[in-house]
Amino acid sequence: MKRKTKRGLIVAIDGPGGVGKSTVSRMVAEKLHLKYINTGSMYRALALAAMDAGVDLENEEALKVFCSTVEIEFDADSGRISVNGRDYSDTARTQKAGELASIISTKKTVRDFLVGYQRGLGEGGSVVMEGRDIGTVVFPDADIKFFLDASHEARAKRRLLELASTGKAGHVEVSNELRERDRRDRERVVSPLTVAADAIRVDTTEMGVEEVVRKVLKEIDARLKSGNIRS
Ligand code: DC
């Protein structure tokens, strides 16, 4: 795969909830001096903003009107996210926001809107973009794609740890909610969570974060050395 354009490197990292994509992606981006773009935070913030505006999250038409009035801003340096000038960075990390995001992300109108925004952010390259559909839909021509996976149990444990800083949630509650979100992410009609044919699949069940980061960096390095991509 030879690079056709002169843009910078695009690294796509996809995978199910709780797998540790955000931590890994942030660390890889830091190491390679690339921008880190967390697309999940956009679905989360948009869902919260729609709720605040009293929009019915199940109503495509209402969501369409809402999206046409919305300005979303993701700051890659700080990772902060705001919608129509309101900062949702902290509330976006809660379990409630995750649930709402999982619902809103099944809607075509919302996906079209956010995918357009994400393409704009990443088109110049030099990014690590993380989500569910980056390698399949947002940047099918990404230079290198990873699909991180792990057992349900391992992911529930990681999610629980992640949520510890944002509020109280029990193991059973987190595990059940993750299962429901997995189902929604994988079964939705528009851009379901699937592994891109050319993605490097990494089962992280038995791996620590550092080990996953090392593996990802090694694969990128090998790809760069093979001359198929330029940094
Ligand atoms: O990665 P996350 O848990 O922050 O994502 C929250 C929800 O947003 C998740 O249930 C699925 C959705 N999502 C998506 O559909 N596509 C993306 N690129 C990122 C997130």
All structural domains of the chain: 10-221 (3.40.50.300)
From 198, 171, 205, select the one nearest 16 (Cα to Cα).
205
Q: Is 98 in the pocket of ligand 1 (CB under 6 A)?
A: yes
Q: Whose CA is nearest to atom 9 of ligand 1?
A: 102
- Say yes or no to pLDDT of 1 above 60: no
pTM of the model as a whole? 0.93
Q: Is 13 in contact with 134 (CB distance < 8 Å)?
A: yes
**What is the pLDDT confidence band of residue 64, given thresholds at 50, 70 and 90?**
very high
Say if ligand 1 is within 6 A of residue 109 CB.
Answer: no
Give residue 57's pLDDT band: very low, low, confident or very high (50, 70, 90): very high
Does residue 132 line the site of ligand 1, with CB under 6 A?
yes
**CA-proximal residue: ligand 1, atom 2 (nearest):** 40
- CB of 111 closer than 6 angstroms to any ligand 1 atom: no
Asked if residue 41 lies in contact with residue 81, where contact means CB atoms within 8 angstroms, the answer is yes
Split at pLDDT 50, 70, 90, the class of 30 is: very high
